[in-house]
Structure 1
Amino acid sequence: MEIDFKNIKVIGFDADDTLWVNETYFREAEKEFAKLLSKYETPNKIDQELFKKEIGNLPLYGYGVKAFVLSMVESALELSNHGVSTKTIEAILNIGKDMLNKPVDLLEGVEMVLKTLSKKYRLILATKGDLLDQERKLEKSGLNDYFHHIEVLSDKKEANYSKLLKHLEIKPSEFLMVGNSLKSDVLPLVNIGAHAIHVPFHTTWAHEQVTEDEKNGKAYKTLNALTDILNLLN
């Protein structure tokens, strides 16, 4: 399906795993967590229980490292029948602190893409997660000046995007969203009449995966790399 991008005036970018590495650190943390709880359950069972806990806690804690740490602590208590040691709880907290202190590793070509597109389009950052952590990562990234507006959303559903575009007085037909998640960065935009480009990352959180039926008939573009967007729009 051919998609016409000629009316685009504003481009939104996701942050985690679109501009910089993020999900990789969660996968590493899950392995460390499984090691800490290895005397109570198998790695597969620990992963399953942690994921269920994360999903169950989303309405309360939202997204991000802090929510992840709280879910790890709760899972540790339940998996150990409340027998986990305070030393292990401290180790879990340290996993979270280590994640928050990770360097911001930009994906290939990110700054070149933003620098080039900012000359022609208004760019905004639309990401979800913990506000303080996202602000910290953006500051470390050195990308702040390329964006006209920065929004940390509690979630990325159709209503969230509609509210954001209305607030910024952006017509959906003139807006393009770029991100690695079909569930969060692509399909909600297509459903409200905006445009979207999917740039897959090599690992995706299970919660962000979608079915073939959900993708069927949806008009969006998939690129192998973020830098390919320059050939598409220029």
Structure 2
Amino acid sequence: MLIPITRERFETLIPLTATASQYAYYWGNWQNVIKQVLFSLMGILLVWLLSFILHSQGLSLFLGIVVGLYWLWSPVAKASFRNANYRRYPYSGFWQGEILDVYVTEEVIGTEETANAKGELVLVENRERRLNLELGDERGFFAQVQVPLRRQHQFISPGQTVHLLVMSEDRDLRRIAKLSDLYIPNRQIWVSDYPWLQREAFKDVSQQLGRGNRRRTPPPSRRR
């Protein structure tokens, strides 16, 4: 089931600026915070050195404040920039389907060099267990989603209903360009790598549009 939604509602669901969950996503763990703070301190030092060259105390003060607070405002900037990538699509819709298959894989997410017992440099792969979902509906829509594996994912199984937001360049939503977070209403589980949606607002949409028989749009093409 695919139901178009208005632009106003879409912009409520995917806001212009960072939500609390998006801010937390880019805030990261304490190690990331320490890196951001160190970057800010280095920036302050650089601005202080430049102040002697430029002989501009006003500009140096402004730059010092901006750079010094980088650790605080950078998550907002990163999330807002990422949101803009989705908000550029002119059309969107609410999609209801079901989980066709669920499986777990182990993926290489990066590599790093380290020394072995002999002092030789070796390349080590960083691997992460990831959840894979295959989604579909009775009209032929099909999509695959892969996210980092979380504890709550143990309650996900084939046959469960799933709700999400789709984005498209086409008014009739025949070609789907992007998918949002996945919401499994009967378990109240969110599945995503990045929290795109205003989740409380989407729950309201899920309750309004995800039940009963409604007029449906022409089926979208199979998503690659």
TM-score band by shorter chain is under 0.3
Task: State TM-score, norm by structure 1.
Answer: 0.26
Larger radius of gyration: 2
TM-score by length of 2: 0.27
Point out the structure with the larger strand share. 2
User: Whose helix proportion is higher, 1 or 2?
Assistant: 1
